[in-house]
Amino acid sequence: MDSQTKADPMRVLVTGGSGLVGKAIEHVVKQEGGCLEGEQWTFLSSKEANFVDLQQTRAVFEKYRPTHVIHLAAKVGGLYLHMKENLHFLRDNLRINDNVLQTSHERGVTKVVSCLSSCIFPDKTTYPIDESMIHNGPPHDSNFGYSHAKRMIDIQNRGYFAQHGRRYTAVIPTNVYGPYDNFNFENGHVLSALMHKTYAAKKEGTPLQVWGSGTPRRQFIYSLDVARLFLWVLREYDEIDPIILSVGEEEELPIKDAVEMIADALDFKGQIVFDTSKSDGQMKKTASNAKLRRYLPDFTFTPLSEGIKKTCDWFVNNYDIART
């Protein structure tokens, strides 16, 4: 039997609650009035339960008895980690997702909102990409493992609806950045890795090494914006089909423009070098936010330069605790 009747307040379990997106949701819930009266929100890290393991997954669901799940937990990394560990990304994420979704179903969780990514779309495609195109062809080769595992969430959501009437859905953010990101030089995503590299280059008086040509284009979304949209999806969005969370197509910009914003934010005046021996990855993955705009025409996104400044300030002020 479902663990909630309509009148009961939600008990929300956030898997991956200690990461970039999880911390942003925690901020919106605790600091921006995102929690309604009577609701219980639990933010999990992998220390409390490793979702690769089914027994640990079942135990933590037994402990918290969630009515709703925001499923963020995943093996995550930037382009260069994906290129080294595609198989690992595939296997861990397939297991994590199956364990979380099936345990949610078995325990009668009313709604699960999982997290896909715009890198899972077909590599050879027309632009802009929209929600109907996820399964239209192979993803970019650099992250085929992660992408196929993520695509299966969408398939599984459809299965839970078709066979059991469950309303499990997913969001598709573009490249996310913000406080609590992984700022590791090798494994982080582009903005966080380059913030750390710029900080170090300034301190050491060395040139900033940007990997690749700087010409690939990306749409970046600030983690707090993702978090605000997640709460809307949890409470209001009723489709099984996923929804892209993105700034508009016109906001897509080359990596080298974002590098200049980071240099400005950290007041870096040294030389900027592009190491073209490193892969560029996917040249673009321009996503449409038309569906989101139909639901939320007035949602305001944090401008990229402002989000980069806030994230750089957070990184400098929290260097001791930041993931580096």
Between 65 and 278, name the residue whose CB sits nearer to ligand GFB: 278
Active site members: 146
Q: Which residue is nearest to ligand GFB (CB)?
A: 212
45 binds, among ligand GFB, ligand NAP, none (CB under 5 to 8 A by kind): ligand NAP
User: Which residues of the shown chain bind ligand GFB in the complex (CB under 6 A)?
Assistant: 78-80, 82, 117, 119, 143, 146, 175, 188-190, 193-194, 197, 210-212, 216, 218, 255, 278, 280-282
153 binds, among ligand GFB, ligand NAP, none (CB under 5 to 8 A by kind): none
- Say how many residues touch ligand NAP, by CB under 6 A: 27
51 token code pair: 């979702």
> In angstroms, what CA-CA distances link 26 with 16, 37, 55, 65, 284?
11, 16, 26, 19, 31
In the range 1-60, which residues lie near ligand NAP by CB under 6 A? 16-22, 45-47, 49-52
In the range 110-139, which residues lie near ligand NAP by CB under 6 A? 115, 117
Give the nearest distance from C-beta 275 to ligand NAP in angstroms. 22
**DSSP-derived pairing of the beta strands 217-218 and 253-254:** antiparallel
Between 166 and 189, name the residue whose CB sits nearer to ligand GFB: 189
Give the 3-state secondary structure of residue 24: helix
Between 11 and 82, name the residue whose CB sits nearer to ligand GFB: 82
What is the rounded distance in angstroms from the CA atom of residue 115 to the CA atom of residue 230?
10
Extended strands (E) in the chain: 11-15, 40-43, 68-71, 111-115, 167-173, 175-177, 208-211, 217-218, 220-222, 243-245, 253-254, 272-275
Between 67 and 246, name the residue whose CB sits nearer to ligand GFB: 246
Give the nearest distance from C-beta 203 to ligand GFB in angstroms. 17
Interface residue with ligand NAP, options 11, 27, 75, 291 (CB under 6 A): 75
Helical spans, DSSP H, in 165-303: 190-204, 223-236, 255-265, 290-295
Give the 3-state secondary structure of residue 121: coil
CB 247 within 8 A of CB 177: no
In the range 53-72, which residues lie near ligand NAP by CB under 6 A? 72
CB 51 within 8 A of CB 16: no
Look at the chain and count its residues: 324
190 binds, among ligand NAP, ligand GFB, none (CB under 5 to 8 A by kind): ligand GFB
Binding site residues, ligand NAP, CB under 6 A: 16-22, 45-47, 49-52, 72-76, 96, 115, 117, 173, 175-176, 182, 189
